[in-house]
Amino acid sequence: MRPVNGTPLLRLYAERRRRHLERLDPAAAQARELRRLVAQARLTRFGRDHHFEKINNVTDYQRRVPLRRYEDFLAEYWRLPFPLLTDVTWPGRIPFFALSSGTTTGATKAIPVSRAMVRANRRAALDILVWHLTSHPHGQPLAGKTLILGGSTALTRLAKGVHSGDLSGIAAKTIPFWARPYTLPGTQLALLADWDEKLERIAETAIHEPIRVLSGTPSWLLLLFERVLTLRRGQGAAFPELELLIHGGVAFAPYADRFADYLRATGAATREVYAASEGFIAVADRSPGEGLRLLPDNGIFFEFVPVEELNAPRPTRHWLGNLETGIPYAVVLSSNAG
């Protein structure tokens, strides 16, 4: 069933948001974002421990708040009250934990996800469409449906009002009511844990739906294209109405040629995102290959540590106000995640 075309309303929002982003001073926005985060978290245990009431600027923050890895937060703040984190590192009760495979230790991490972070992720998703409409002013992304190809949306109940699972599952559980008619797969399909069965059933559903936007990791999306084309017996485009393919998670270059073949029939655009369990970091605002744009006003304060100093006892901490180009950095996040 085709939903009511929501693009005209989206276009009004996109025009206002685009003008705001084009006028935005990234460093000033980051300074404001840090002050906002500190003010909101000042009465938490973490805020009291670091005297947030005395922090007025980036220098104060970097002097009072040392860098920590996930394992440090777990040991010092999260492990003992887990899963009931209330006013610990973010105000209120943390309702979700996003399970993420560790890249350093290999152990699964349970990343706190506050409701503020959920709202920030929604705004970031809208920014993707803002930049799409900026470069494709006649686009109609909400004239059909968006298919998000992610992991299982099944969540595990840890305590009353507290659940854990894939970030895609958290996103599915918290999708706003207005977006539900535009989003696939439906609840029952999204809950499937068996990947092969899930892919097959999504493909069977997709051939009957007006898919305008596709989102997922390139390797998974390729499998979906191949399965849909098999069901269509190789006739025509896999998704005849597709206008935007959103990808992230891994480098796109190894897959670019194959996607070019699949997208040629519809002329669909591609747009890369940098979304992690810890927060939504960046969105492509230009053509493919021209880099990504940080989201400086969306619940995250970014710091940058030279990679060669990662294991130093007191590494240099840059931010957007004094960042240098051409240097490999590790990104450090201070966010509303929890």
CB 135 within 8 A of CB 283: no
pLDDT for position 164:
95
pLDDT digits (tens, 9 = 90+) for 81-99: 999 999 999 999 999 999 9
Of 266, 260, 213, which is closest to residue 240 (Cα–Cα)? 266
Q: Judge if pTM exceeds 0.85.
A: yes
Structure tokens at 326: 């051409």
pLDDT for position 153:
80
pLDDT for position 103:
53
Domains of the chain, each with CATH number or no CATH: 7-11+117-164+179-294 (3.40.50)
pLDDT for position 49:
98
- State the burial class of residue 54 (Cβ atoms within 10 Å of its Cβ: 0-12, 13-18, 19+): exposed
pLDDT for position 102:
54
pLDDT digits (tens, 9 = 90+) for 118-148: 999 999 999 999 999 999 999 999 999 999 9
Q: Which residues of the chain have pLDDT under 70?
A: 102-106
pLDDT for position 19:
97
